[in-house]
Amino acid sequence: MQVERKDKEINGSTYSILLAPPSQCMALVNQLHSVSGSADKDALMVKTIRISKLSCNDLPVFESTAFDRHFDSHRGDLFPAFEWALEEQVSPFLSESVRLAYRRIREQKEKMESQSLTDG
């Protein structure tokens, strides 16, 4: 199976990602649902960039030293590149994820309702 590559120009540089396998994308979706603070957001950003094998002008920037070196001089590209990579990786899975979340909420509600009937 061939890995699909996506490209996007950000501030005059061409960024590229490789679409990850579905299992890795679903892990990002699950992590996205549990983001609550800045540490969680940073972890999500690092994981997204690594899974996506982000590169800029065909030079890899997903390894920690290359990442730091690149984005020290391209700070304005960091969040647009992250948001784009995250969207490309998770968007095919969001509808299924939303259905699963709704099912969990509905099951919890039904459980709470049945408990209140037995308690009352």
User: Residue 86: which of 62, 119, 37, 51 has the closest Cα?
Assistant: 51
Residue 102: the pLDDT is: 64
Residue 66: the pLDDT is: 93
What global pTM score does this model have? Answer: 0.76
Q: What are the sequence ranges of the domains in the chain? A: 5-92
pLDDT in tens, the chain (120 residues): 678 999 999 999 999 999 999 999 999 988 888 888 888 889 999 999 999 999 999 999 999 899 999 999 999 999 999 999 999 998 888 777 777 776 787 788 788 778 876 765
